[in-house]
Amino acid sequence: MIRVTNELIEDCTHRGWWGNSTLDAEFSANVERVPDRLAVIDPPNRGAFALGAPRRLSYRELDARVDEFAAAMAAHGVGAGDIVAYQLPNIHEAVAVLLACSRIGAVVSPILIQFDQHELEDIFDQLAPRLFITLTRFKEREIEANAAPVCAARAIPVLNIDRIGERALEPVRRSPVGPNDLLTICWTSGTEGSAKGVMRTHNQWRVIGMMMRDGAGLRDGDVLLNARPLVNMAAIGGGFYSWLICAGTMVLHNPLDLALAIAQIRDEQVTVTFMPPAFMVSLLKDETQAARADLASLRVLGSGSASLPQWTIDGMKARFGVEIINFFGSNEGVTLLSNAEDIPDPSMRAQFFPRFGRPGLAWPSMPASGWCETRLVDPETGEEIVEPGRTGELCFKGPSLFSGYLGPPERTAAAFDDQGFYRTGDLFQIAGEGEEPRFYRFEGRSKEVIIRGGFNIAPAEIDNMLSDHPAIREVAAFGFPDDRLGEKLGVAVVVKAGEAIALEDIVSYLRDRHLAVFKLPQALLTLEALPRNAMMKVLRWRLTELFQEQEARERADA
């Protein structure tokens, strides 16, 4: 089900939300205007996790690299409309692949470098890509060799970036695709365990970049440190398109390392970065690192993916003079933000967001004033909530929303209400004083996805993989709070009579099934029965409570 109709295109174009440029056209304009400006900088530790020395490329040099990648893909038969999947860390080649796919009109589907064979099989069976692009190794993992049997079983050719440039290739012509054609299929964790492909056009990405530009106060030539994997909204919308729209310099970082990030901010004079809460929490709790940190160049620091502790916003302002912008969003294109312009009080910015697009509410920043519509509805009845004190599901409508999910049309249809609002599954309350309270306050998620350090984990996927463990009778995964990562993953088990199981046994079992490392549980809760409601559905929130009670008892006994 594709939601980009001619009527929607005409309306969004008339309002100035969508334009006439593709990703390749936007990038090429930067190449023409600032050819010698530094465009992208590899992580200085590149050699520790991938082949090749770190490179620093100007826009002119990056453009040549894009041509090289486009030619390599075309030599594998890739053309307009074909799907190209890639699994790469944050190195300049990932940027080149994104741009090269746009140049030849291919649809690009980025995959987390942490994903193993289990996740690749699920994604490839849904995607059927024309080509898979990867590298030889990431840290100690042989990435190409690991993916080879999955690709071979599906007759998917593999292009290794470490071998591009070994032979001369014919240059390719630019594709005639348009701004409302599909550009990406990104992956989000489905509540039932299978990943969902989120389809987005050039214009749906471009408007995210414009909202970032105006909401975060981006400037021409900004130096942006990108530490998020270039696979989804946080990095492609927050990092890549922010870089593109201000013709900036992208400083790549991989994997997230506090000391290295601080050094890059200082050495490259970074002006903008978007970090997970773990960065701020770790920095403020590590007095040695905080004392060494030089953040004088940093003008914009954004955070998102998990609830931000209030003390971190206060602490970053007091210690470093840095104002934090709190972002709330999703792969589907929901974008709320709290900046110092709209919400000057740092203590409010951790949980409060402007009520975007509400009639009669004016805000200084562009995104809050009219680029979208929002409302809260009762999750059970669908009744709109207009007064404070009641928790409701945030529903969102606007030009940044995705085109639909890959696969059956009913999957997309179920995500929208009868008025065309996307149902986010996130819970808020209306808050603030006066006749028209001005804020939304985040309350939690109605969906069960666990967000660990910015990575989404569907608990049902873990349940399914452990359901046939020989020692387990019942199992349910759950999330529990963590100051640094936002959430961690635990599993609750009911063991079979006469059996015993330890956390290490469960982790080993999942490793043997090639599950991504970040999905491995970090806590075990053993119960006589799982808590369920009248419909026999497991109450995961109750598992979180039981685990916290267990932790409290263990601390008291220590």
Q: Is residue 224 part of a domain?
A: no
What phi and psi, each to the nearest 5 degrees, are found at residue 222?
-55, 145
Where does the pLDDT of residue 255 fall: very low under 50, low under 70, confident under 90, or very high at 90 and above?
Answer: confident
145 pLDDT band (50/70/90 cuts)? very high
- So what's the pLDDT on residue 533? 64
Residue type, 553: R
- Percent of the chain at pLDDT above 70? 96
| Residues contacting residue 545 through CB under 8 Å, at least 6 positions apart | none
The percent helix, strand, coil of the chain (3-state, each to 5) is: 35, 25, 40
User: Domain for residue 94, yes or no?
Assistant: no
pTM here? 0.86
Output 543 or 365, whichever has higher pLDDT: 543
502 in any annotated domain? yes
> Is the pLDDT confidence value at 16 over 80?
yes
Is 265 a domain residue? Answer: no
Integer Cα distance of 309 and 484 in angstroms: 10
- Is 535 a member of any domain? yes
Q: What is the pLDDT of residue 139?
A: 95
Give the pLDDT band (50/70/90) at residue 470. very high
The pLDDT score that the predictor gives to residue 218 is 96
What sign has the CA pseudo-torsion 71, 73, 75, 80?
A: negative
Using the predicted structure, report yes or no on whether residue 196 has a pLDDT greater than 70.
yes
Residues 6+ apart with CB under 8 A from 475: 462, 463, 466, 467, 469, 491, 492, 493, 494
State residue 167's pLDDT score.
77
Assign 2 a pLDDT band (cuts: 50, 70, 90): low
Greater pLDDT, 316 or 285: 316
Mean residue pLDDT across the chain: 91
Highest mean pLDDT among 61-70, 443-452, 466-475, 549-558: 61-70
Q: Is residue 501 part of a domain?
A: yes
What confidence category does residue 445 fall into, taking pLDDT thresholds of 50, 70 and 90? low
Q: Is the pLDDT of residue 291 over 90?
A: yes
User: Mean pLDDT throughout 154-167?
Assistant: 93
Give the pLDDT mean for 229-244.
95
Q: What is the mean pLDDT of residues 381-390?
A: 91
Can you read off the two tokens belonging to residue 411? 């999957």
Which domain does 478 fall in, by range? 450-557
Which CATH number do you get for residue 469? Answer: 3.30.300.30
DSSP 3-state of 167: coil
The residue-averaged pLDDT of 463-478 equals: 89
Question: What distance in Å separates the CA atoms of residue 87 and residue 340, rounded to the nearest whole number?
Answer: 36
Q: How confident is the model at residue 371 (pLDDT cuts 50, 70, 90)?
A: confident
- Worst-scoring range by mean pLDDT, 357-371, 433-447, 522-536? 357-371
Higher pLDDT, 366 or 281: 281
In the predicted model, what is the mean pLDDT of residues 123-149? Answer: 97
For residue 26, being part of any structural domain is answered with no
Percent above pLDDT 90 for the chain: 67
Q: What is the rounded distance in angstroms from the CA atom of residue 361 to the CA atom of residue 439?
A: 10
Q: How many domains does the chain have?
A: 1
Q: Note whether residue 485 is domain-resident.
A: yes
The number of beta carbons lying within 10 Å of the beta carbon of residue 35 is 14
pLDDT tens column, 479-503:
999 888 889 999 999 998 899 999 9
